[in-house]
Chains A and B, each alone.
Chain A
């Protein structure tokens, strides 16, 4: 007698799992991370270690407080992705507590108070970054000039010393604003765009020196993500197009006051935001049409905040603002169910 085995659907299982997804994302982040470390020195490695340790620690604490399986969630890699993304936004010689505060706020408040992975309405890394930027604007905008142009090279020991012992005063002498920040300040002093771009060694061919490479590498990693089908094309394409069109429009209107669209695409967190942050499957919109609006919204708000706002980069705020709008977008862009009429 043959036994007929029956099981309930689904009968075909996908090979993907959360850990596999998260570690693919981390692998795709690697080129950008290496470029970031190359240009900004050993401080990046120190902060990355610190961030990952804090993230895992907070995750373990919250999981044990909430009586959840610790092994399952600690090894899924989602906390590591948040920590790594946040690391890109922290200046290399920033004091150690900056990373600890940012990461623990991201993991505890933005992720676990909402129920952990899969429930958070806001992108945890961006919540952590925005908290730091609002609370410690001085520490968060003290960027190092990229190593290739800086006369000051720090070895590992000196970096450690600066991060753990020196207050902000010790670091002040060698730091300066990031390219986008610098551009904004100079423009408000009514310098014309050409003057600024020719003046500093802060600017490279496309964007800020160093930053353009980090962005190019993030673009490469993003294309890998697309190829691996981890993310959909809708959000990055809509975001980059919206940024390109709005920057291009104002640049054509007055090239002296509004910067080149390329500078916007290859500076700050643009590429990282487009491929790695905005595409967070939990906090982004989930319908295809919603994704297009969501991405375009991020692009436009990023441009508005960068150009007229008071903060150096708009990507983080834009992502949080569109995170807020994502449930509404989903609600109003529900696709038509098969077999039902055009309306209702």
Chain B
């Protein structure tokens, strides 16, 4: 039980995928202009990340390793992720057409969210078992969602601020992300390794 808690704390806070590992920065910068879209994106990414880490574990464990074709790992994981994203897109399209409209191009772009492939590959690298892999994916997604939502709310405030002209837009957003990353360093040391 303690081990699972450690995985969660580690992925959500200590080794946050966005602010500490710097993965998944494109959606972090791209979909954080509005809080509502950020929340939608957070749910979609959580769903995809958890599902894809489960699927990639199954593919790795029951197809790649027995057939001894682990050199195909990266490409097969990309395929798995693309399938999961397509599935998510269909689900969102059917259940919430409005969210589908709002997320627009970013929904299929989850495929290229490097955090998703990163989680799948890190799971294999760390030789996690089935449940730990799923939890690792889920924790990474929760960490991603957390900072994405907080960041979106901050950006809504910053838009109204009297930022010097040269720093408007992405520049001040990146500075904010840097300061957030500094704040997240406070969690280092909570989990060893």
B109 in the interface (beta carbon within 8 A): no
Residue of A nearest to B178 (CB): A109
For A121, give its contact among B164, B176, B189 (CB under 8 Å). Answer: B176
Residue B186 at the A interface, CB < 8 A? yes
Q: How far is the CB of A190 from chain B (nearest CB, A)?
A: 15
| Residues of A with C-beta under 8 A to B156 | 327
Interface residues on A, range: 35 or more
Q: Is the CB of A113 within 8 A of B163?
A: yes
Question: A320 interface residue, CB < 8 Å from B?
Answer: yes
* Neighbouring B residues of A127 by C-beta, 8 Å: 179, 182
Within the complex, the shortest CB–CB distance from B19 to chain A, in Å, comes to 10
Q: Across the interface, which residues of B come within 8 angstroms of A311, CB to CB?
A: 186, 188-189
> With A308-B189, A311-B189, A328-B149 given, is the CB distance from A112 to B164 under 8 Å?
yes
Q: Are A130 and B186 in contact (CB under 8 A)?
A: yes
Contact A113 B157 (CB under 8 A): no
| 17 A-B pairs (CB sep. < 8 Å) | A113-B163, A113-B175, A114-B163, A114-B172, A115-B163, A115-B164, A119-B158, A122-B179, A130-B185, A308-B189, A310-B188, A310-B189, A311-B188, A316-B186, A317-B186, A327-B156, A328-B153
Q: Which chain A residues border B158 with CB–CB below 8 Å?
A: 114, 119, 121
Chain B stretch 44-67: residues in CB contact (< 8 A) with chain A: none
Contacting pair B167 A308 (CB below 8 A): no
Say how far B185's CB is from chain A's closest CB, in angstroms.
Answer: 6
A116 B162 Cβ-Cβ under 8 A: yes
Partner of B186, one of A122, A314, A325: A314
Report Cα–Cα, A28/B192, bound state, in Å: 41
Name A residues whose Cβ lies closer than 8 Å to a Cβ of B.
65-66, 109-110, 112-116, 119, 121-122, 127, 130-131, 134, 301, 304-305, 308-311, 314, 316-318, 320-321, 323-325, 327-328, 330-331
| A residues less than 8 Å from B91 (CB atoms) | none
**How many A-B contacts if CB must be within 8 Å?**
90
Q: What are the nearest 3 A-B pairs in CB distance?
A: A310-B189, A317-B186, A115-B162
**Known interface pairs A134-B185, A327-B153. Does A320 touch B190 (Cβ–Cβ under 8 Å)?**
no
CB distance from B169 to the nearest CB of A (A): 13
Roughly how many angstroms separate A304 CA and B9 CA in the complex, as a whole number?
Answer: 12
Name B's A-contacting residues (CB within 8 A): 35, 149-151, 153-154, 156-158, 161-164, 167, 172, 175-176, 179-180, 182-190
Closest chain-B Cβ to A76's Cβ sits at a distance in Å of: 15
- Residue from the set A109, A112, A325, A328 with the largest chain B CB neighbour count within 10 Å: A328
Q: A130-B186, A305-B187, A311-B186 are in contact. Are A324 and B180 (CB under 8 A)?
A: yes
In the complex, the answer to whether A309 meets B183 with C-beta atoms within 8 Å is no
How near does chain B come to A108, taking the closest CB pair, in angstroms? 11
CB distance from B151 to the nearest CB of A (A): 8
Which of B164, B182, B189 lies in contact with A309, CB distance below 8 A? B189
**Cα A122 to Cα B176 with chains together (Å):** 9
CB distance from B138 to the nearest CB of A (A): 21
Q: Specify which chain A residues have a CB less than 8 angstroms from the CB of B182 in the assembled complex.
A: 127, 130-131, 134, 320
B157 touches A327 (CB 8 A): yes
Q: Please measure, in the bound complex, the distance between the C-alpha atom of A130 and the C-alpha atom of B167, giving whole angstroms.
A: 23
B186 touches A324 (CB 8 A): no
Name the residue among A110, A119, A318 with the largest chain B CB count within 10 angstroms: A119
A316 CA to B154 CA in the complex, in Å?
A: 19
Verify A317–B157 contact, CB threshold 8 A.
no
